[in-house]
Structure 1
Amino acid sequence: MQFHTRLALAATHTMRVTFLIVLTLLPVFTFAQGIRGTIVDETGKPLGFASIFVKQNGSGTTANENGTYEIALDSGHYELIYQYLGYETQVRIIDVDNDFVSVNVTLKPQATVLPTVVVQDGNEDPAYTIMRKAIAKANYHRQQLDSYTARVYIKGAGKLKDYPWLAKRALQKEGIEKNRVYISESVSEVKYTRPNKFEEKVISIRSDGKDNNTSPNQYIFGSFYEPEIQGTISPLAPKAFSYYKFEYLGTFQDRNYEVSKIKVTPRLKGDNVVEGVINIVEGWWSIHSLDINTSKMGIQVYIKAIYAPIEDKAWMPVSHQFRVEGRAFGFEAEFKYLATVSDYKIKLNPALYVDNDKMEVIDEKVQKEEAKKIEQNKPSTAAKKNKDADNLKQLQNRLESGKEITRKELNKMMKEYEKQELKRQKEPEVISDNTFKIDSGAYKKDSTYWASIRPVPLTTEEVKGYQKSDSMATVARRAEEGDTLKASKHKGFQPWDLLIGDTYKVSKHSNFKIHFPMPGFNTVEGWNLVYKVSFGTILQDTNKTRLTITPAFRYAFSREVASGNLKFQLRNQKYRLELEGGRYIKQFNADEPILPIVNTFTTLFLEKNLMKLYERRYIDLNYRRKLSQYVTVNGGLSINRRYMLSNTTNDKLIDRKSVEGYTSNMPYSEELPLTGFGIHNALIGSLQVTARPWLKYQIRNGKKYEIGSSSPTFMAEYHRGIPDVLGSDVDYDRVELGVKHEFNIGVRGHVDVALRGGAFLQSNKMEFMDYKHFLGNQTPFATADPVGSFRLLDYYAFSTRKQYFAGNVHYHFRRFLVTSFPLVRMAGVSENVFVNYLATPTSKNYTELGYSIDGILRFFRLEAVASFRDGKYMDYGFRIGINTAFSVNFSDN
């Protein structure tokens, strides 16, 4: 029941250069007979993508965009159901013998009848009663099936409609042409097992001729009966009335079923809501079909789906259409996906089995008399207590006891049922368990196979696209097989790799990497160059234990000093052990708030040498282990000999007359006037415990993936400067507690909160780098985590050796100022307001108030911030960052 919707979301995430989407399923037999024809309207216009459902075998298919269809069937007697949104369903009885039967169908516009009830002033639109019943039964539909199997065929067709001229040569090199249609097809076998397990095996794949290199995307499962689908609110969600307005458009007859047509309108247009029409089967209160659209970060997604009553027991999707279109940075693309589902085999959940015509849902808000009678006939209090002893039996008896049940009673029963089911699960924290496999012969099917298996005939444009792609693939394959020089041209080491970097496969489990050399500039070293290489190998294949060795070389041209370090890392899914040592520079703040590339820009162009550095000769040992899936422990020990550094250069690209020159390399601090230090030793130990007690997971191919926002993150840290061991000159203790979480506040917005507080238990001997520092920023760029960092704070002014507290609150609005305009929201733009607060002995309640616009040109964020101390205005500034949707979430993974 779960796979028709996330295909749409798969489509929303496919605005990448990879439109070889998804997988599909259908039998692999070859038939010599069946039914074919064309579906048109009364004017003779083809009804592209009309749905055809074969009742006898639970199979479905779809006409192509020209209205042409073809179904391969065994000889026999069949009932075919022809459907198209907005048109009357037509049923044909066909006998298939030893050849294809030609059946052309003309569909009439749907006759929608309004009920006798007239919506007058003060009366509620009938759509709300219909939707309340459908929403009340959504949980039932989610749990109705114990399992099902099906075959799915998916065809994706995409084309690049426009691109900037600067990208023309690169695209041509990759064989990508403007307005050329690239298509992909796949056939998959799908199996669902309640409550959350999905298995898919891809039988065959054909994709734009590059059959040796193409990997299909996973067929993603979902359902509009779920409250949310990847953040998009379903019209059948319990909180749907807060997000949508509904309008009754009438009722139409589809065979023996009464279907209500409901218009869905977002109360606030933008991302994560849908708009369009959803058709509800009366009595069943299930989805009959839908025609909706939504947007994700300015990319438009159009979805059509048609359902059918499988074995007259459950309405399941039999065809889907998706159209995705968007424009960004001069690129404009359009993708179309078509999926047909066939060969349904369903197994009902025996605990919830009830003939749908036996259960009539009563809306107590409107049907007050009926609800009162049901209330009077409820079991006694003593009988209610018996439900705790055998909840499933009580629920089944109640469902089978009569035709009427109130919405509230159904909701309560389903919640209790799901609660009991959750207790029985071995892993209740697992939200979904998906398995995706590709058959070894999936890429080897020829055109004859596809001609026999394809349920949707190709259009002329698609045939031409395949012919061109196949010819290009043949040329490429011959070149690879016949020209060994060309085939090996980009294999192995090349001299220019020393300048641009590359990765080389050494063996099956080992690789060697040359990192891109990173030049930079600071006033301590002048121009500097960092050069790294790394070697990685899997030591134990069973648990993927991997060893990585990374030596790094650094040369400071102004200091004329060479330095470097060597790092060993041993890790798997349970632990990570790191040993690192050498001679290297480091920022006074160990969290290193200034990126070297940003410091290079501010130093050379703005004459602000913000990065303050010291040198250490050190050995660091760090160990991290997952004690359980909820608790992680990190321990570290660091042996250091630390040296103060001074500026060695005044070089600059722009000499700003308004700036006095570079500042000293000694950080400025209000608590410690002189932050310089002499050569000394430091032995420092640390311990951190991170807990996420309510963490949820998704499983993909047997591997668990955390759902980061499913639980708050709690942290406890202890840092100890150990005196008189290995000559250590430091003696201090610091403890810190913290929490970070993100959550929604109703329909109004999304909130991120980060709180940290701590204190030094004692600080007998310590240097400035041992103080508690905070993530400040004085550059034009916001590069740190948006939640947990400051925008205008001096990097070291309020650093402390005493108690401290830092709090950050980030509120994401669905509608605020510029997002009051629908066109702005539809372009993927959003607004945020944030507050950052710092309390230390010298900070005087330092506070930042900020406003940001997210999603500018899809990827960027512009912030305006003002700072205050003890409520008095201090400063203001603007910052440029990356869209918070792409920012790294806080977690101690």
Structure 2
Amino acid sequence: MLRHLLLIFTLFIAISASAQQYALSGRITDQQNHAVEFASIYIKNSTYGTTANESGRYQFKLNPGTYSVIYRFVGYKERIESVTITDHDEVRNITMENEVFKLGTVQIQGKHVKDTAADDIMRQVIAKREFYLNEVNEYSCAVYIKGVQRLLRAPKKLMGKTVQEKLDLDSLGRGILFQAESFSTLSIQQPNKIREETIASKTVGLNPTFNYTKASDLNVNFYKNIFSIPGLSNHGFLSPVASNAFNLYRYKLIGRTTENGHIIDQIRVIPRHDHTPTFKGSIYILEGDWRLYSIDLYLTKKDNGLNFIDTMKVSQQYIPIKDNIWQLVSSQYSFSGTVLGFVFGGYYNSIYNNYNLDPKFPDGYFTGEILKFDTAATTKSADYWNANRPVPLTLQEAKDLNEKDSLASVKRTKGYLDSFQHSNNRFLPIPYTIFGHTSSYKNGTDSVYLYPFINTLYYNTVEGYGLNLQARYTHKINDLQSYDFTPELRYGVANKMFTANVNGEYNYDPFHNAKFFGGFGSAILDLNNVGTRSLYFNTLSTLLSERNYVKYYKSEYGDIGYQREIANGVLWTASLTYANRIQLFNTSFNHINTFNGRSYTSNNPLLPNAPADDKSILFPENKALTFNTSFRLTFDQQYITRPTGRIDVPSKYPVVTVDYRQGINSLGSDVKYNFVSLNVAQNRIPIGLIGYSAFSLTAGDFFNRDKLYFMDYNHFLGNQGTTFDPTYVGSFHFLPFYTFSTDQAFLEAHYQHNFSGTILNNLDFLRDLKLEEIIGANFLTEKNNRDYSEFYVGIQRFIFRIDYGIAFEGNKKYMQGFKLYYGIK
């Protein structure tokens, strides 16, 4: 018996020893002992490897055995080291020599070409672009991503103690602002199917302006014609190996070298013209195969109009996987910039391991879910990261991570949460005036939002001066369920009318956008139910310009509704409303500016020339039982799934929305009609190197109009006044709010294109402003009015925009002028 136990114990020890992994680590430097940061290290004849960190240090774990380890980075000679792992960790420091690319004779298709061979080489590469783009039909791999954004220098005059402590900076204004890392599995199938699952994710620090935390963000294929950088530019950049690359690039052969039996050509990439959507730098070509070997390219704010940053460098390394098939093994985005004297920089580094080029994905494997976060992804311990992290942290990164992890633990304590909540609830008058104020309670479970003061005190000719008190209470039941209520109290001094209502919704399934909603009470509503002007802007135009654009009525109502995504990309909404509608008339005629000779108009929008105190009947008091339903169809809907819900990703196809509305002549209701409309729209269509377009096309008709009133008509999102809201492409610049409202068939069309600086970037005196040029047109045709059309041009920068447009009724010019937007609706 003892012999058997000893045998079992011996086998257990042997199996454990054979399964034990040991670390291969070291530092990679150049001949001047400077760190070679982000150098690639991988095992020959495998798809397993890593990269060095910013200090040149690397580490990864291996089973006992002998390995050929390849050390490689752009600009250095490739090194192959034989490393034997026995029963302990192995340290191997590496000094890399500068690569020398020598000019000489290059052989292309049987002919010898001197050092002017760059164009001939690139023609070979471009000829094989599409082959390499589609060479691998499908594959899967493991991906590790590390991102760091740090402050490199801060202006002393802005470096107060509070700022220094808040950002955790040293005395020179330096420190790490943000760190993120993740492990994912990535699956790809040609031509455009993708599925990614994040197994582990860790983020500390301030939320960055831009980030690339998905494996697909950094898995950029230069064999595609257009290279996009989400968040940093609204247009694409032409790849140096694009099918039409010779139109915008010149090439120079720097030289050639031999690496591991392969001849590598270094090609300098040179834009033919300044300030074009092109790269500078070098690409490295595997001669004979004419494929990409390495990428070392960059973009700048000065030449390429980047947002937020000054310089972006893109580096990629490719290795052979099997049978002369090469794949991406590492990719880096390195960036730097200056904002208001603050100098910052950072990087995103991704490592691709364990390629499977024959994954045999089952039918239905690729759904609309392009990214899924494991439920435990954000709960991994420090021990897990220390054991699995393939790239060692630098000393600064480790210190920052430990400090912020400790601080995060403190922030989860009840005392800190109570203190933070109290501080965050502090009432600040100026932000409240424009944006409102939010207070949270019970560690964020409950919150109250007070609507902005600019929409609390108001004036209009129907109610006179008034007070509109509105707040939203939200209660979070758990991570998946919540409800909110929005009560509103409103009183008009001139007409002495008090209204009160409450609306709310119960969200119970964030994975299917499912909720119940409803409300009841009385309210003062706009006769144009798609929206005209806010209380704030209507108050300004009424008092300062004698332009009482908005026309009101009173509704005493109750409604209930339901929404749910019934299939991927199919969102269904339905509601039922019962309302008593009452016409209102002007009761107040206050003036601030009495020198412009203008007069207020009637509250009846169909009588624009009637006196302000007109009492003509637009509609009698009536009751309406109305049923609404809509289906929104998003083709190829893609989404990201998190443990707390899903986030829909904008589709590359148009979205189709079908709306149906019925006035039901029952239960005392006075209305009887049927209305249907069809909308096809797409908000962002990338147009290669020249920005993006958007369009909206809507057609509709009342196929039964036995009994309906003005508020039941189909209304359009018009605009009157100097300001406008450009955030929805289906709006007009000059269309009167009510004139074109109709109970007949109609067709409206909208198109807009943003050139994203393509034109103005060529003008020296405007280039630094990074303005975006916009053109657009709007059109409306219906039975009872002449065709209406608008044409406009504009420029914008972030939330600021100014347009100049001309509008026509038929062939007659209706109006022209400027429209402004500065972030307030």
**Aligned-partner Cα distance in 1 for 2:425–2:640:** 40
Can you list the C-alpha shifts for 1:643-689, whole angstroms capped at 9, x where unaligned? 2333444556x526225254433325579998743651131424444
Residue 835 of structure 1 and its aligned partner are, at CA, apart by 1.0
Tell whether 2:506 aligns with 1:564: no
Letter aligned with residue 341 of structure 1? I
**Aligned-partner Cα distance in 1 for 2:485–2:819:** 37
Letter aligned with residue 266 of structure 2? K
Residue 810 of structure 1 and its aligned partner are, at CA, apart by 1.4
Q: Pick from 628, 647, 672: which aligns with 2:567?
A: 628
**Aligned-partner Cα distance in 2 for 1:538–1:578:** 16
TM-score using structure 2 length: 0.77
Q: Pick from 429, 440, 450: which aligns with 1:515?
A: 450
Look up the match of 1:798: 740
**Aligned-partner Cα distance in 2 for 1:122–1:35:** 41
**Aligned-partner Cα distance in 2 for 1:480–1:452:** 26
Look up the match of 1:20: none
Aligned 8 A contact 2:236 2:688 in 1:
no
**Aligned-partner Cα distance in 2 for 1:516–1:168:** 33
Look up the match of 1:199: 197
Letter aligned with residue 831 of structure 1? E
Q: How many residues align?
A: 760
> Which structure 2 residues correspond to residues 535-684 of structure 1 after superposition, within 5 A?
535-536=474-475, 538=477, 544=480, 546-571=482-507, 572=509, 573=512, 575-650=514-589, 655=593, 657-668=595-606, 676-677=617-618, 679-684=620-625
Look up the match of 2:261: 256
Residue 225 of structure 1 and its aligned partner are, at CA, apart by 6.0
> Which structure 2 residues correspond to residues 431-510 of structure 1 after superposition, within 5 A?
432-436=370-374, 438=376, 442-445=380-383, 455-456=391-392, 458=394, 462=396, 467=399, 484=415, 487-488=418-419, 490=421, 501-502=437-438, 504=440
Over the matched positions of the two proteins, sequence identity in percent amounts to 21
Aligned 8 A contact 1:637 1:683 in 2:
no
Look up the match of 2:176: 182
Can you list the C-alpha shifts for 1:850-891, whole angstroms capped at 9, x where unaligned? 01223x2x33222111112222333222222369xx99xxxx
Tell whether 2:294 aligns with 1:305: no
Tell whether 2:777 aligns with 1:846: no
Look up the match of 1:736: 677
Change (3 A) 1:105 1:340: farther
Deviates more, 1:309-318 or 1:496-505: 496-505
> Which structure 2 residues correspond to residues 45-444 of structure 1 after superposition, within 5 A?
46-55=35-44, 59-65=48-54, 67=56, 77-95=66-84, 101=91, 103-113=93-103, 115=106, 117-118=112-113, 125-141=120-136, 143=137, 145=139, 147-149=140-142, 152=144, 154=146, 156-159=148-151, 161-162=153-154, 171-172=163-164, 174-175=166-167, 177=169, 179-182=173-176, 188-195=182-189, 196-202=194-200, 205=202, 207=204, 220=216, 222-224=219-221, 227=224, 232=236, 235=239, 241=245, 245=249, 247=251, 249=253, 250-264=255-269, 274-282=279-287, 284=289, 286-294=291-299, 297=307, 299=309, 300-310=311-321, 314-326=325-337, 330=340, 332-337=342-347, 339=349, 341=351, 344-349=353-358, 425-426=363-364, 430=368, 432-436=370-374, 438=376, 442-444=380-382
Letter aligned with residue 466 of structure 2? W
Change (3 A) 1:672 1:626: farther
Aligned 8 A contact 1:810 1:835 in 2:
yes
Can you list the C-alpha shifts for 1:814-870, whole angstroms capped at 9, x where unaligned? 67642444896786533221111122345422211101223x2x3322211111222
Look up the match of 1:863: 803
Look up the match of 2:812: 872
Deviates more, 1:498-507 or 1:301-310: 498-507
Look up the match of 2:466: 527
SS of corresponding position for 1:291: strand
Residue 476 of structure 1 and its aligned partner are, at CA, apart by 8.8
Aligned 8 A contact 2:51 2:330 in 1:
yes
Look up the match of 1:813: 755
Residue 615 of structure 1 and its aligned partner are, at CA, apart by 1.2
SS of corresponding position for 2:198: strand
Look up the match of 2:652: 710
**Aligned-partner Cα distance in 2 for 1:33–1:124:** 45
SS of corresponding position for 2:135: helix
SS of corresponding position for 1:432: strand
Aligned 8 A contact 1:321 1:336 in 2:
no
Aligned 8 A contact 1:695 1:707 in 2:
no
Residue 586 of structure 1 and its aligned partner are, at CA, apart by 0.6
Aligned 8 A contact 1:682 1:722 in 2:
no
Change (3 A) 1:609 1:487: same
Letter aligned with residue 345 of structure 2? F
Letter aligned with residue 133 of structure 1? K
Letter aligned with residue 40 of structure 2? S
Look up the match of 2:4: none
**Aligned-partner Cα distance in 2 for 1:100–1:629:** 51
Aligned 8 A contact 1:504 1:513 in 2:
yes
Residue 159 of structure 1 and its aligned partner are, at CA, apart by 1.1
**Aligned-partner Cα distance in 2 for 1:649–1:579:** 33
Residue 584 of structure 1 and its aligned partner are, at CA, apart by 0.5
Change (3 A) 1:880 1:769: same
Residue 591 of structure 1 and its aligned partner are, at CA, apart by 0.8
Look up the match of 1:696: 637
* RMSD of Structure 2 on Structure 1 (CA): 4.7
Aligned 8 A contact 2:182 2:213 in 1:
no
Aligned 8 A contact 1:297 1:827 in 2:
no
Structure 2, unpaired ranges of 5+: 1-18
Residue 569 of structure 1 and its aligned partner are, at CA, apart by 2.6
Look up the match of 1:789: 731
Residue 809 of structure 1 and its aligned partner are, at CA, apart by 1.7
Residue 619 of structure 1 and its aligned partner are, at CA, apart by 1.6
Residue 426 of structure 1 and its aligned partner are, at CA, apart by 1.7
**Aligned-partner Cα distance in 1 for 2:547–2:63:** 78
Aligned 8 A contact 1:162 1:332 in 2:
yes
SS of corresponding position for 1:777: coil
Can you list the C-alpha shifts for 1:166-225, whole angstroms capped at 9, x where unaligned? 89687457345473221666665433345333233227x584699xxxx99555553316
SS of corresponding position for 1:791: coil
Aligned 8 A contact 2:690 2:758 in 1:
no
**Aligned-partner Cα distance in 2 for 1:188–1:700:** 16
**Aligned-partner Cα distance in 2 for 1:267–1:593:** 49
Change (3 A) 1:658 1:45: same
Aligned 8 A contact 1:641 1:679 in 2:
no
Structure 1, unpaired ranges of 5+: 1-28, 352-420, 888-893
**Aligned-partner Cα distance in 1 for 2:378–2:575:** 46
SS of corresponding position for 1:781: coil
Deviates more, 1:874-883 or 1:424-433: 424-433
**Aligned-partner Cα distance in 2 for 1:199–1:625:** 25
Aligned 8 A contact 2:22 2:85 in 1:
no
Aligned 8 A contact 1:113 1:252 in 2:
no
Change (3 A) 1:586 1:706: same
Can you list the C-alpha shifts for 1:589-636, whole angstroms capped at 9, x where unaligned? 011121233323333444433222111111223344544335444433
Aligned 8 A contact 1:270 1:822 in 2:
no
Aligned 8 A contact 2:55 2:394 in 1:
no
Change (3 A) 1:647 1:472: same
TM-score using structure 1 length: 0.72
